[in-house]
Amino acid sequence: MNPPKIDLHTHTTFSDGQLTPEKLVQLAVKKKLTHLSVTDHDTVEALSQIRALCDDAKIEWIPGIEISSEWGGEEVHLLAYFIDAEDSEFLNFLSEQKKDRVRRIDSMIERLQAHGVLIEKKDLEPYLKDSSLPGRPHVAQALVRKGYVPNLKEAFRIYLSPNRPGYVPRQVPGAPIVLQKIRKNGGVAVLAHPGLLRDRSIPETLKKEGLQGLEAYHPSHKKSEMKAFAVWGEQNGMIVTGGSDFHGFKGEKNAALGSLPVPAEAVERLRRAAEPPRG
């Protein structure tokens, strides 16, 4: 019997991914995935569709989301698994996140225009597809199409990274607040791609605030980092997870769907840690 093939970090057209839920699940079938979680940014809009598609494809589906937060001046991404996507309080919280994303993109466009980069909000529309949540990748795609840069990497390097003309920091809630929202919803909170953080003490700090897991296996991590994060997670009672952070862009630096060695026990540990939403 073949071991499970698991990917717990993917994105669709409902946030900043390139594949529709249908196309993503078709690819998951082609890659022979046994378990799949879609973790779109700050939205659960795709989850009911993904669930039906995975059921038809005989792939075990794990409801998920990736939520932006802040700690110590850094943007911290928190993955939440086995969430209740119908919890009204949680949905209201996500609605505020959406408003912040829209405000940020409006400010980015204004900054770019002030530097002679003439893009408008309508230039992002061809790339939003199913998404109502504009993000930097959508702006980057518009910059490529308008001829300001040759590719997405250059769009971020020249215009959309910190200290560049079009960069606007997000106004996101503190990580402890987001952890509280996830736990109250009944979901399981996992720190995404910890290797991207400047402050490597953040996992230990957030563990004290209710963090339950650590994404050790991520394409931004070197093999030595993956091993180190996995060891640290196990030693500290954390659920060790992983995923490709798949967006579907041609030539993207992230790993191919299902290509990372996610521990076979990760899903069951997440399932056991999930709780009924608390009133």
User: Rounded to 5 degrees, what angle do the CA atoms 160, 80, 246 make?
Assistant: 50
Structural contact between residues 193 and 242, judged by C-beta atoms closer than 8 angstroms: no
The arithmetic mean of pLDDT across residues 154-164, rounded, is 92
Q: Using CA atoms, how far apart are residues 60 and 172, in angstroms rounded to an integer?
A: 32
For the stretch 58-90, pLDDT in tens is 999 999 999 999 999 899 999 999 999 999 999
CATH class held by domain 6-93+172-273: alpha beta
pLDDT band for position 185 (cuts 50, 70, 90): very high
pLDDT band for position 249 (cuts 50, 70, 90): confident
**In the chain, what are the domain boundaries?**
6-93+172-273, 103-160
**CATH topology of 6-93+172-273 equal to that of 103-160?**
no
pTM comes to: 0.87
Closest CA to 16 of 52, 61, 66, 60: 66
The residues, any chain, with a CB within 8 Å of residue 28's CB and separated by 6 or more, are 7, 36, 54, 57, 59, 257, 258
**pLDDT at position 141, please?**
87
**pLDDT at position 132, please?**
66
pLDDT cut 90: percent of the chain above it: 77
The arithmetic mean of pLDDT across residues 153-157, rounded, is 92
**pLDDT at position 130, please?**
66
**pLDDT at position 275, please?**
76
For the stretch 5-34, pLDDT in tens is 999 999 999 988 889 999 999 999 999 999
Q: Which residues pair with 65 in a beta bridge?
A: 80
The pair phi, psi for residue 108, each rounded to 5°, is -60, -45
Above 70 in pLDDT, residue 254?
Answer: no
For the stretch 197-223, pLDDT in tens is 999 999 999 999 999 999 999 999 999
Q: Which CATH number fits domain 103-160: 1.10.1760, 1.10.150, 1.10.8, 3.30.1360?
A: 1.10.150
| Structure-token pair, residue 145 | 């199409």
pLDDT band for position 171 (cuts 50, 70, 90): confident
For the stretch 88-110, pLDDT in tens is 999 999 998 888 888 888 999 99
The residues, any chain, with a CB within 8 Å of residue 91's CB and separated by 6 or more, are 44, 85
Structural contact between residues 169 and 192, judged by C-beta atoms closer than 8 angstroms: no
